[in-house]
Amino acid sequence: MQIGPYRIDPPVVLAPMAGVTDKPFRMLCKRLGAGLCVSEMTTSDPRFWNTPKSLRRMDHVGEPEPVSVQIAGTEPSQLAEAARYNAAHGAELIDINMGCPAKKVCNVAAGSALLRDEALVARILEAVVGAVDVPVTLKIRTGWCRETRNALTIARIAEQSGIAALTIHGRTRNDFYEGEAEYATIAAVKAAVRIPVIANGDVSSPHKAKAVLEATGADAVMVGRAAQGRPWIFREIAHFLATGTELPPVTLAEVRDVLIGHLEHLHAFYGAPQGVRIARKHLGWYAKDHPEQAAFRTVVNAAETGERQIALTRDYFDALIAGVAPDFASAA
């Protein structure tokens, strides 16, 4: 898949997820096979650009190209200025958020709420595309609700506005993440436009990725929640799409090593104590489906230093690798 001057290969993309796809996670997923990683959404309101949270989200030093930064907002000129600001600070792709279903986002008429105002969508896209020299992409849902699915109309507006690629999550805003994603709308959009289309929603395995590509004709798939605690899913999907065969399951030793490396990067990036706190949700995702995972989470979540968090994690996985019960009593 080609987006502007950038070849996205393999055609497997990490979805932007607030509170998840920070720099440590993006770099990890890229190393483990993602063809493109999109940042957490950053606000278009300049009053918040210099907060510690925003400054971290805008830190792209050392990231492999292309650096894709998602912006969110409602006002065309403000979004255009946010695009210029991020492009000047390392963004090589600008992604516009019109897909987030969160109430706090939609209540201020941002995210997927924008899909209810097609004229405003056009003004935003034209303003942002005209503001920067880097490619601009767009992420949407199929519509606000099932009765008003308008992804096809939005896609045509996007193409006419100069959008370089379009990602569609196969649910409406009112679906949130309930039920199953539907792909007929994505297929209809792909058949109607010439720009690259990325299919998103319930891409949770190599076989599902292939099935979604076949059902939609999309140029790539986007993986979101399925990558939480499973960043190696990108190489698994890429290998299956390229060869038709599955990679061997990831070993416990590799899970341990990937997780510890992820923890170390989180601790270094955020510092103490924030890095330890942020790491806790990732620890829960990595430990999911492993023996004694509830007891492990209880013990490791009580750790107050990065060193202790890493030591407990290593001990837990070393016990699983050795085939013995983890010793939580001595860890308490």
Residues known to be catalytic: 100
Please, where are the H alpha helices in the chain?
Answer: 23-31, 52-57, 76-88, 103-106, 118-131, 151-161, 184-192, 206-216, 233-243, 252-270, 274-287, 293-300, 306-322, 328-331
Rounded-to-integer distance, Cα 227 and Cα 285, Å:
9
Return all residues near 191 (Cβ < 8 A) that are at least 6 apart: 217
Q: How far apart are CA 266 and CA 231, in angstroms?
A: 15
Q: 99 is written with which tokens?
A: 């897909």
Residue type, 219: D
Instruction: Name the nearest CA neighbour of 172 among 164, 184, 162, 181.
Output: 181
Whole-Å CA distances, 1 to 139, 223, 250 = 16, 16, 27
* Distance separating the N- and C-terminal Cα atoms of the chain: 50
Reduce the DSSP state of residue 5 to 3 states and report it.
Answer: coil
Q: Are the beta carbons of 180 and 212 closer than 8 angstroms?
A: no
Provide the 3-class DSSP secondary structure of residue 140. strand
104 class by beta-carbon count within 10 Å (0-12 exposed, 13-18 middle, 19+ buried): exposed
Q: Which two tokens stand for residue 62?
A: 């050392």
